[in-house]
Amino acid sequence: MTVSIKSNKTVKKDNALHTTFTYENAIVEKDSAGTLSVTPTAVDYDFKVDLKVPKTGLLLVGLGGNNGTTLVGSVVANKHNISFQNKEGVIKPNYYGSVTQSSTLKLGVDSEGNDVYAPFNSLLPFVNPNDLVVDGWDISSMKLDDAMKRAKVLDVDLQRQLYPYIDKIKPKSSIYYPDFIALNQKERADNVFNVDSNGEVDTKNKWRDVEKIRKDIQDFKKENGLDKVIVLWTANTERYAELIDGVNDTGDNLLKAIKENHDEVSPSTVFAVACILEQVPYINGSPQNTFVPGVIELAEKHQSFIGGDDFKSGQTKIKSVLAQFLVDAGIRPVSIASYNHLGNNDGYNLSAPKQFRSKEISKASVVDDIIESNEILYNKEKGDKIDHCIVIKYLPAVGDSKVAMDEYYSELMLGGHNKISIHNVCEDSLLATPLIIDLVVMTEFFQRVNYKKVGAEKYEDFYAVLTLLSYWLKAPLAKPGFKAINGLNKQRLAIENLLRLLVGLPINNELRFEERLQ
């Protein structure tokens, strides 16, 4: 679909779209008596979008896992238009579950006041997932055809048709620090480069590991004639790294800690540092604290994009909508009990207590900003909060079909109570893979957007922490000094309004004066 926008706020020049936009907000101050003083503000900006779509490569950490093989399979199936047969009939390839490929956004209204929608990716040029060059690392040496069989995600008829395209692909050797992932992953770790002359795992040369990853990125970019590379972690959940002053609290200390082979430098942080030094965007799709303060400072210094943490695919995405709905309705949730069982390798790794703790933290934080939004329901001084219980169990029989059960127990007026129970069965990797596509497509796009305040001399990039990716992430990383936004509707509205302002449209609202005024 072609969308032609006629706006006096935009000018196309030198293959770039230039737009003027006034950002309006309100600054609120609270005095000692509790009075809120609100002052409207307005700042004029110039935005510039590079309209040329670059040839983009994607390197996955965890290429041979369930998400990695499903991502490769989805790209190949869509690129080559591979249909397949299952018990329900012929299935044509698609990218259902992807916002950038399968959702729409509102353009405006027609002459009769009816909403008009267009594909999300029709307003501005985005990378087509079919054009992505995909490769990556894995601690398992299994080729992708066998890894796809092992994952048991895609239908057998589709797998059979994909094999000729992927049977020669073997993941690049990765790094393996046994202390950071569950001991039960040891048998898979037969494709690691951090080994000594006797073939034993060597975790005492971490700067070498950084340099090896940098070399892999450089070679991948050169060998495939790429304009850009994006790296995304979809490997095992690691335990949390301990935050230690003088080790990972600043960029310089972190680099020093890597060179001194400190035990609290994780593999995911090593990958992040390598990417930052290469000025390659790095996205963390797992819940561990990859982005210790030193990583964020390094990203700021090198003006390299980072985004995380943890894919927001099923249970937590529902929670970020339902909890917000209850609080916005003036209903007071007092407890949320969440239970999961799954049988894929992610569940196997999470059966270890330290790795589960990483996941527990990321799933629990999703209601934090929702609680803070309503002081009527939750008194900060009294320490009011939602009792939030999270359980994850490994059950091999269910495979990739994760079972999630939630109970929301809420307080109503005059001592009444409300209980909402949800039973959700989802194919985990088929929900996560579209998120990977969106994260990559949007990250590349944000690299082509620059801004400046009206009157400033030069354009700037977005801040290093790409908080606009929060829609797809369970525990979104925030800029230091700011609080993360978890509400799904707020996250989606921010993305929609950015696209609208970049093409000269007003930001979205639902005042609907066409029908509500005389």
Binned at pLDDT 50, 70 and 90, residue 482 comes out as very high
Calculate ∠ Cα 302-306-312, nearest 5°. Answer: 175
Catalytic residue among 172, 206, 319, 402: 402
Domain 56-311+430-447+464-486 has CATH 3.40.50.720: yes
Higher-pLDDT residue of 346 and 3 is: 3
Average pLDDT over residues 81-93: 95
Catalytic residue among 138, 310, 346, 406: 310
Average pLDDT over residues 78-84: 98
Alpha-carbon span 438 to 256, nearest angstrom: 35
The answer to whether 63 touches 397, Cβ cutoff 8 Å, is: no
Residue 342 confidence (pLDDT): 85
pLDDT tens sequence across 383-407: 898 999 888 888 899 888 888 899 9
Q: For residue 301, indicate whether it is catalytic.
A: no
Q: For residue 170, indicate whether it is catalytic.
A: no
Q: For residue 215, indicate whether it is catalytic.
A: no
Closest CA to 18 of 53, 45, 57: 45
Best CATH choice for the domain 315-427 from the list 1.10.1040.10, 3.50.50.60, 3.30.360.10, 3.50.4.10: 3.30.360.10
Closest CA to 153 of 315, 345, 285: 345
Average pLDDT over residues 35-49: 97
Average pLDDT over residues 360-372: 78
Q: Considering the chain, what is the average pLDDT of its residues? A: 93
Closest CA to 299 of 465, 473, 484: 465
Alpha-carbon span 134 to 45, nearest angstrom: 36
Helix axes 267-277, 251-259, angle to 10 degrees: 120
Calculate ∠ Cα 276-281-285, nearest 5°. Answer: 110
**DSSP letter assigned to residue 243:** P
Instruction: State yes or no: pLDDT of 362 exceeds 80.
Output: no
Domain residue ranges in the chain: 56-311+430-447+464-486, 315-427
Q: Which of 177-181, 313-317, 331-335, 338-342 has the lowest mean pLDDT?
A: 313-317
List of residues 6+ apart from 356 with CB closer than 8 A: 350, 392
Binned at pLDDT 50, 70 and 90, residue 347 comes out as confident
- Element spanning 230, H or E: strand 228-233
Residue 359 confidence (pLDDT): 67
Q: For residue 474, indicate whether it is catalytic.
A: yes
List of residues 6+ apart from 153 with CB closer than 8 A: 66, 69, 70, 400, 427, 429, 430
Instruction: State yes or no: pLDDT of 283 exceeds 70.
Output: yes
pLDDT tens sequence across 465-477: 999 999 999 989 9
Instruction: State yes or no: pLDDT of 24 exceeds 90.
Output: yes
State both tokens at 22.
């006034």
CB under 8 A, 24+ apart: contacts of 39-45 = 43/453, 44/20, 44/453, 44/454, 45/20, 45/21, 45/451, 45/452, 45/453, 45/454
Binned at pLDDT 50, 70 and 90, residue 232 comes out as very high
Binned at pLDDT 50, 70 and 90, residue 8 comes out as very high
Query: Which residues are registered as beta bridge partners of 443?
Result: none
- Element spanning 500, H or E: helix 488-502
Catalytic residue among 346, 359, 400, 438: 359
Residue 470 confidence (pLDDT): 95
**DSSP letter assigned to residue 125:** -
